[in-house]
Every structure is written in structure tokens, then in C-alpha cells.
Amino acid sequence: MESDAIGTAAANADISVLGLIADADPVVKLVMFFLFLASMWSWFVIGEKLFSLGGARKKARQFEDAFWNGRTEDLDLRPGAGGDAASRVFSAAAREWSDARRVTPGSGEAAALVTRAERSMRATIDRELGKAGNGLGVLATVGSASPFIGLFGTVWGIMNAFLNIAQQQDTSLGTVAGPIAEALFATGMGLVAAIPAVIFYNKFTGDLTRFADQLDTFSQDVLVRLSRRASDPTRD
């Protein structure tokens, strides 16, 4: 008889995803809803970063190739101009680049010119990296907090399972199956939100580091060329 009751309770229980959500405790529902929003938010950031970071690195390489190959006729090198990170880094020092031919070689003015250019480009690089890194904090937060939020839902669901046992004085599967299933589902949602966020956070952090190295290398090359240009105005 007891086995028949267990079988009947299990048969009548709706263990589908929608059923688990609909029958969940209000607190567990709130946890699931929060984890769903966190997952959607992280995927939005992931999609935006896949395009923006890759596009920024590609455009920077194209500008560098055109600049160092002397194809400057199609480039807007005025201060404040430029639609990509590398061009904006150079534009920060464009005034010094133009003034380099008019300074006295070996003078303090030439050294000050290079120093101003270095500071301007460093500030621009910092701004570009800050702009490129927008949203990574979201991925870090979702990746670190989602498992614990899901664990809270799990603890709450298991607590409800024990309360059901205490209220009904029944330890059968039908009494605890629903709350335990809800608890495990909350854990699963926490992992579903956290795992992609952690993976792509690590990927984008690496991409951002390589982008920073790319801009730093370009700025150092510009400074070397600027120093030569200031020390010998007849040299390009």
C-alpha cells in the first residue's frame, strides 16, 4: 500500500521545468528569476564584447599597418580625430608630432615634447582600455555570485522538504520530491549562469591584456619615431 501511494504521488507530480518553476516556493521562484536575469545580462555582455573587443583590435591593426607603411593620406591624424583606438592614441600626440620638425635638436624643448607625447598617449590608452573593459565587472559578479545564490535556493528548498516531513509526518518520496527537485533546479540555474560568465570573463580579460600590449607597443614605436624626428628634423 505504501509503495502504491508513493507511485501515485510520483505519477501525479509535475517534474517538468515549467512545473518545477510553477510549484516552487516563492523564495525559490525569486532566486530562479534573479538567476535568469543574471544569465541574460551576462549573455548580453558576452555578445557585445565578442564584437567590440575583436573589432577594436582589428581596426587598431589596420591603422598601424597604414601608418607605418606610409599610407597616411587616407588617415585623419588631427588631434581628437580617429574612429579606432590606435588612431586616437596617435591623435593624442599629433600636435607634438607636427611640432617635432620645428624644435631645436638636442634642446630641452625636444625632450619636453617627447614627454608630453608620452603622457598624452598613456592617458588615452588608459581611457581606451577602460572603455573596452566596460561590462567585465558584470561577468565577474555573475560568475562569482550565481553559485551562492543558487545554493541559497537549494538550502531553502531542502528546508521546505524537511518542513513537509514534519507537518505531514510522512517520509515518503511524494512528500519531499517536489521541494528537493526545486532545490536542485535552483543549483543548476546558478551553475548555468556562472559557468559561461567565468569562461568568457577569462577570455575577455586575456583579450584586453593583448589589446593593452598592442596599444603600448604602438605608442612606444611612435615615441621612438618622434624622438628621432625631434633630434633630426630632416628625418621622417
In this structure, of 35-39, 75-79, 97-101, 208-212, the range with the lowest mean pLDDT score is 75-79
Count of domains forming the chain:
1
Q: Band the pLDDT of 103: cuts 50, 70, 90.
A: low
Surface-to-core class of residue 215, CB atoms within 10 Å of its CB (0-12 exposed, 13-18 middle, 19+ buried):
buried
Q: 6 in a domain, yes or no? A: no
Confidence at 5, pLDDT banded by 50, 70, 90: very low
Q: Is residue 236 part of a domain?
A: no
Residue 114 located in a structural domain: yes
Residues of the chain above pLDDT 70, percent = 70
**Radius of gyration over alpha carbons of the chain, in Å?**
30
Q: Is residue 48 part of a domain?
A: yes
Residue 158: domain span: 24-231
In the predicted model, is pLDDT for residue 139 greater than 90?
Answer: yes
Of residues 165 and 134, more confidently modeled: 134
pLDDT tops 60 at residue 2: no
Least Cα distance to 183 among 207, 212, 149, 217 occurs for: 149
At residue 65, the pLDDT reads 82
Q: What is the pLDDT of residue 29?
A: 83
pLDDT, tens only, 75-90: 555 555 557 788 888 8
Q: What is the mean pLDDT of residues 100-126?
A: 75
Establish if 38 belongs to a structural domain.
Answer: yes
**Distance separating alpha carbons of residues 192 and 183, to the nearest angstrom:** 14
In single-letter form, the type of residue at position 34 comes to F
Amino acid at residue number 104: T
* pTM attached to this predicted model: 0.77
DSSP secondary structure string for all residues of the chain: -HHHHHHHHHHHS--SHHHHHHHS-HHHHHHHHHHHHHHHHHHHHHHHHHHHHHHHHHHHHHHHHHHHTT-GGGS--STT--SSHHHHHHHHTHHHHHHGGGSPTTSHHHHHHHHHHHHHHHHHHHHHHHHHTTTHHHHHHHHHHHHHHHHHHHHHHHHHHHHHHHHHT--SHHHHHHHHHHHHHHHHHHHHHHHHHHHHHHHHHHHHHHHHHHHHHHHHHHHHHHHHHHH-TT--
Residue 221 located in a structural domain: yes
User: What dihedral angle (degrees, nearest 10) is formed by the CA atoms of 88, 90, 93, 97?
Assistant: -140
The three three-digit cell numbers of residue 88, written as one number: 586616437
Angle at 95 between CA 93 and CA 99, to 5 degrees: 115
Buried-exposed string 23-33: b where 16+ CB fall within 10 A, e elsewhere? bbbeebbebbe
5 part of a folded domain: no
Cell numbers found for residue 15: 517534474
Q: What is the sign, positive or negative, of the torsion defined by CA atoms of 72, 76, 81, 82? A: negative
